[in-house]
């Protein structure tokens, strides 16, 4: 069981709302730092452990600065994410560009920043060489196909658009080596939001065996194996969190079994966790605007799926608490909704909650990854603010809420210069 908590009491939250109206996302700096330290400790046995924080999970330089200060790098998949990492003073081989169908300017910027480039296809070798040249360290993303199971979010590996097949992988290393690349890594990501700890150990076994095969077939001693991310978080209170210590020790055993006897004992271990780092330590805070009683009871919030689309996109569960009623009996059944012109704009369906009144504050838990990051402007909805609860208890605005000026700023149409009323 996982107890769902919020780091501010009701009075503290109301003080924050006086300055920053709802809706907003807020992150807990202290909890994020402690969580990241736990991950590093679980892999302290490794000759070198690298965490490339998945920028897509929470693309804000204030959060990336925390990652840098704790020793993590950045896993990027676009030029914007490269620039965000650069803003946070993350650079060089602390950045890993893992993208697919990548345009030339993204490869070029990665080269300028000294990043590791992780190629998604064998054909990208020629494209990279022609348009940007080779980086100091080149990696390839492996798609093992039916050799390993995926999961519901990322799908079966053989149906995924990502990565090189086994024979392509070996050929790619030979081609790159022949063209002068001297330093290499290996990457694989086949699961997402996985709660079964043994799944990560199984992935490590597959990857370590592949690293040994690459060495035997090509003579290349890989510098690192990136096991990907995919560590899930307990969205449901009845879920158990992944046991990082168990995973770390399990991978250590496999490392000693496979890597060390092959003479590859200096191989570094890398991961690219995102959700697992910030997910449980971010919340979407909203206010109840309306209650509607028709065939069901609906509670309408001042946020919508433009602020958190996981429930609509995946049917995902996010725990909800009503501020001040955390210990009240959950004796009412509600659909919790937003204002988009889409019937799937719902944070919860048939959810048992305490009786809710207009004006109540609603906390949507586990929104610290793939929450604000997946926001959009459909129906002209404006993206909300992001706040950081600092270790000293103060609250910092790390992204202001969008305005109509922002929304209309890219239009090129006579007479469409909207000015906000002062």
Name the band, by pLDDT with cuts 50, 70 and 90, for residue 355: very high
What 132-138 contacts at long range (C-beta under 8 Å, 24+ apart), as own/partner pairs, is: 132/104, 132/107, 132/108, 134/176, 134/179, 134/180, 134/181, 135/110, 135/111, 136/93, 136/183, 137/93, 137/183, 137/184, 137/185, 137/223, 138/176, 138/181, 138/183, 138/184, 138/185
Span 319-327, mean pLDDT?
97
Mean pLDDT over the full length of the chain: 94
228: left (phi over 0), alpha (psi -120 to 50) or beta: left
Verify whether residue 341 is a known catalytic residue.
yes
pLDDT digit string, tens, across residues 232-257: 999 999 999 999 999 999 999 999 99
Whole-model pTM: value is 0.94
Q: Is the pLDDT of residue 120 over 70?
A: yes
Q: What per-residue confidence (pLDDT) applies to 200?
A: 95
Q: Which of 76, 304, 330, 341 is catalytic?
A: 341
| Displacement of CA 255 from its chain's centroid (Å) | 26
Q: What per-residue confidence (pLDDT) applies to 153?
A: 44
Start-to-end C-alpha separation, the chain: 50
Q: Is the pLDDT of residue 90 over 80?
A: yes
3-state SS assignment for residue 36: helix
Name the band, by pLDDT with cuts 50, 70 and 90, for residue 154: very low
Q: Which residues are CB-contacts of 194 (< 8 A; sequence separation ≥ 6)?
A: 151, 200, 230, 231, 232, 242
- Cβ distance 256 to 262 under 8 Å? no
Domains plus CATH for the chain? 29-276 (3.20.20.10), 280-408 (2.40.37.10)
Cα–Cα distance measured from residue 271 to residue 227, given in angstroms and rounded to the nearest whole number: 5
Span 355-383, mean pLDDT?
97
Q: Is the pLDDT of residue 149 over 80?
A: no
Q: Is the pLDDT of residue 133 over 70?
A: yes
% of the chain exceeding 90 in pLDDT: 89
Cα–Cα distance measured from residue 226 to residue 213, given in angstroms and rounded to the nearest whole number: 16
pLDDT digit string, tens, across residues 159-210: 677 889 999 999 999 999 999 999 999 999 888 899 999 999 999 999 999 9
Cα–Cα distance measured from residue 403 to residue 412, given in angstroms and rounded to the nearest whole number: 18
Q: What per-residue confidence (pLDDT) applies to 403?
A: 95
Span 279-307, mean pLDDT?
98
Q: Is the pLDDT of residue 422 over 80?
A: no
Q: Is the pLDDT of residue 227 over 60?
A: yes
342 annotated binding-site participant:
yes
Q: What per-residue confidence (pLDDT) applies to 151?
A: 46
396 annotated binding-site participant:
no
Is 17 or 418 the better-scoring residue by pLDDT? 17
Q: Is the pLDDT of residue 57 over 70?
A: yes
230 annotated binding-site participant:
yes
Q: Is the pLDDT of residue 417 over 80?
A: no
User: Hey, what are 417's tokens?
Assistant: 């210069």
Span 89-109, mean pLDDT?
96
Q: What is the DSSP string of 387-404?
A: EEE-TTS-EEEEEPPP-H
274 annotated binding-site participant:
yes
Q: What per-residue confidence (pLDDT) applies to 391?
A: 97
Q: What per-residue confidence (pLDDT) applies to 99?
A: 86
% of the chain exceeding 70 in pLDDT: 95
Q: What per-residue confidence (pLDDT) applies to 158?
A: 66
Cα–Cα distance measured from residue 137 to residue 220, given in angstroms and rounded to the nearest whole number: 13
């Amino acid at each position: 069981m996982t107890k769902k908590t919020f780091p501010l009491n009701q009075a503290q939250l109301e003080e924050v709302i006086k300055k920053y109206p709802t809706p907003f996302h807020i992150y807990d700096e202290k909890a994020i730092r402690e969580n990241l330290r736990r991950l590093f400790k679980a892999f302290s046995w490794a000759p070198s452990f690298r965490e490339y924080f998945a920028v897509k999970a929470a693309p804000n330089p204030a959060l990336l600065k925390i990652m840098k200060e704790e020793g993590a790098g950045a896993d990027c998949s676009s030029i914007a994410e490269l620039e965000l990492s650069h803003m946070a003073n993350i650079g060089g081989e602390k950045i890993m560009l893992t993208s697919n169908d990548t345009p030339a300017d993204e490869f070029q910027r990665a080269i300028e920043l000294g990043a590791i480039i992780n190629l998604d296809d064998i054909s990208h070798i020629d494209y990279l060489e022609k348009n940007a040249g080779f980086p100091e360290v080149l990696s390839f993303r492996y798609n093992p196909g039916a050799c390993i199971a995926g999961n519901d979010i990322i799908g079966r590996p053989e149906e995924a658009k990502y990565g090189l097949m086994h024979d392509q992988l070996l050929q790619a290393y030979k081609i790159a080596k022949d063209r002068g690349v001297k330093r290499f890594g290996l990457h694989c990501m086949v699961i997402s939001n996985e709660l079964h700890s043994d799944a990560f150990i199984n992935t490590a076994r597959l990857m370590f065996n592949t690293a040994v095969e690459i060495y035997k077939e090509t003579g290349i001693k890989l510098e690192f194996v990136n096991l990907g991310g995919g560590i899930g978080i307990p969205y449901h209170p009845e879920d158990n969190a992944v046991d990082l210590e168990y995973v770390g020790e399990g991978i250590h055993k496999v490392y000693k079994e496979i890597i060390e006897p092959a003479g590859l004992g200096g191989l570094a271990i890398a991961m690219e966790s995102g959700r697992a780092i910030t997910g449980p330590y971010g919340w979407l805070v909203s206010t109840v605007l309306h209650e509607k009683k028709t065939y069901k009871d609906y509670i309408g919030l001042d946020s919508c799926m433009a602020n958190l689309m996981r429930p609509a996109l995946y049917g995902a569960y996010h725990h909800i608490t009503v501020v001040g009623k955390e210990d009240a009996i959950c004796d009412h059944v509600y659909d919790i909704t937003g204002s988009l012109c889409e019937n799937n704009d719902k944070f919860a369906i048939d959810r048992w909650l305490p009786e809710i009144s207009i004006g109540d504050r609603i906390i949507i838990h586990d929104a610290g990854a793939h929450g604000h990051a997946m926001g959009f402007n459909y129906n002209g909805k404006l993206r909300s603010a992001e706040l950081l609860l600092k270790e000293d208890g103060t609250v910092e605005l790390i992204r202001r809420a969008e305005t109509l000026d922002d929304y209309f700023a890219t239009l090129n149409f006579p007479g469409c210069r909207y000015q906000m009323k002062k």
